Structure 1
Amino acid sequence: MNAPELDEIDRKILRELRRDGRISNTQLAEKIGLSASPCWNRVRQMEEAGVIEGYTVLLSQKALGVPDTVMIEVTLDRHDDDTFESFGQALADMPEVLEAYLLTGEYDYLIKVAVAGTAGYEEFLRRRLYKLPGLRHSRSTFVLRVMKRSYSPEP
């Protein structure tokens, strides 16, 4: 599917929604200089075209008791379709896994997990990750501080 042509008004709408996904249509229209109805139509069209994939809420890892983030590079022992499919689905089903990417290069996957310190990480490794069939090697790095976090590109 080809990406729809976005004009500057669409981009303004997207920037505002990216900052505040809960903004009312009236407030959004006011901020970008449109009346409410055309603004709502543009948002709806971008949703239907797949430019806007959805809306979500960001939760505090710290408030949920899993303040630490670990990045894990994983190598599988086999590279067949079934192994990739089952391993990827198993990662998607784990609540600790925030993001998982299939990669090119030295490692097969990059996984971002939320844990409660080294004890929580050890438990994740022993009770979850190391139980998955197909895992050959992993390498972990604890995140010290987040310098930038973005969930979509700037429109």
Structure 2
Amino acid sequence: MSISTLDPLDFEIVRELQEDGRRAFREVARNLSVPEATIRTRVKRLQDQGIVQILAFTNPSKLGHAKLALLFVNVAPQDHDRAVDTLGRWPEVSYLSTTMGTADICVQVLCRDDDSLWALQQRVRSLPGIRDVRTLQEVKVHKIRFTIPPADSEG
């Protein structure tokens, strides 16, 4: 199911949970004027289809001396999928995407300190097909939120 096949109720449920992922289904149902069982069923379907994942975000600046960084990786086309698969299994990787532009892959990592960030960057450089890795340390995250785009009538 793609975002375009979600119905208006699905979008409203997602919006409710984006405001507060711990919001009780009973409250979501009341806010949307539908039975709680409908919310429970819809959320399970959205989760099963990988559209919604309810989780906790940590604030890296509150973790002490943790180092948050973005790695912009260029990789040979034939090694792209293998690099993504490998990087996706590393516990330090918090975000991983294929990009278009000056890098092929964007990797956000959270490391203990400068030494572990350096070591991780060297591990990335040693992967097969990696052509270049540029690292940008993030000093402070001001906003991180993935929200569904507004409906056409809201734009």
Instruction: Report what 2:136 is aligned to.
Output: 141
Instruction: Report what 1:4 is aligned to.
Output: 5
Q: Distance in 2 between matches of 1:26 and 1:91?
A: 39
Secondary structure at 1:125's aligned position in 2? helix
Q: Does the 8 A contact of 1:15 with 1:154 survive in 2?
A: no
Q: Does the 8 A contact of 1:101 with 1:110 survive in 2?
A: yes
Q: Does the 8 A contact of 1:103 with 1:109 survive in 2?
A: yes
* Cα distance per residue 1:53-72 (max 9 Å; x no partner): 33223244456666321111
Q: Distance in 1 between matches of 2:59 and 2:142?
A: 16
Instruction: Report what 1:117 is aligned to.
Output: 113
Q: Distance in 2 between matches of 1:109 and 1:97?
A: 12
* Cα distance per residue 1:29-79 (max 9 Å; x no partner): 22333342344454455556x484332232444566663211111122x32
- Consecutive unaligned residues in structure 2, runs of 5 or more: 151-155
2:77 to 76, 79, 93: 79
With 98-107 and 35-44 compared, the bigger mean Cα shift is at 35-44
Deviation (angstroms), 1:95 = 0.9
Secondary structure at 2:13's aligned position in 1? helix
Seq. identity, %: 21
Evaluate the alpha carbon distance shift between residue 4 and residue 99 of structure 1 in structure 2; reply closer, same or farther with a 3 A threshold: same
- Count of aligned positions: 149
Q: Does the 8 A contact of 2:97 with 2:105 survive in 1?
A: yes
- Consecutive unaligned residues in structure 1, runs of 5 or more: none
Q: Distance in 1 between matches of 2:105 and 2:40?
A: 39
Evaluate the alpha carbon distance shift between residue 45 and residue 71 of structure 1 in structure 2; reply closer, same or farther with a 3 A threshold: closer
Evaluate the alpha carbon distance shift between residue 114 and residue 154 of structure 1 in structure 2; reply closer, same or farther with a 3 A threshold: same
Evaluate the alpha carbon distance shift between residue 84 and residue 119 of structure 1 in structure 2; reply closer, same or farther with a 3 A threshold: same
1:1-155 → structure 2 map (5 Å cutoff)? 1=1, 3-7=4-8, 9-44=9-44, 46-47=46-47, 50=49, 52-61=51-60, 67-76=66-75, 78-80=76-78, 83-126=79-122, 128-154=123-149
Secondary structure at 2:34's aligned position in 1? coil
Secondary structure at 2:121's aligned position in 1? helix
Q: Does the 8 A contact of 1:21 with 1:55 survive in 2?
A: yes
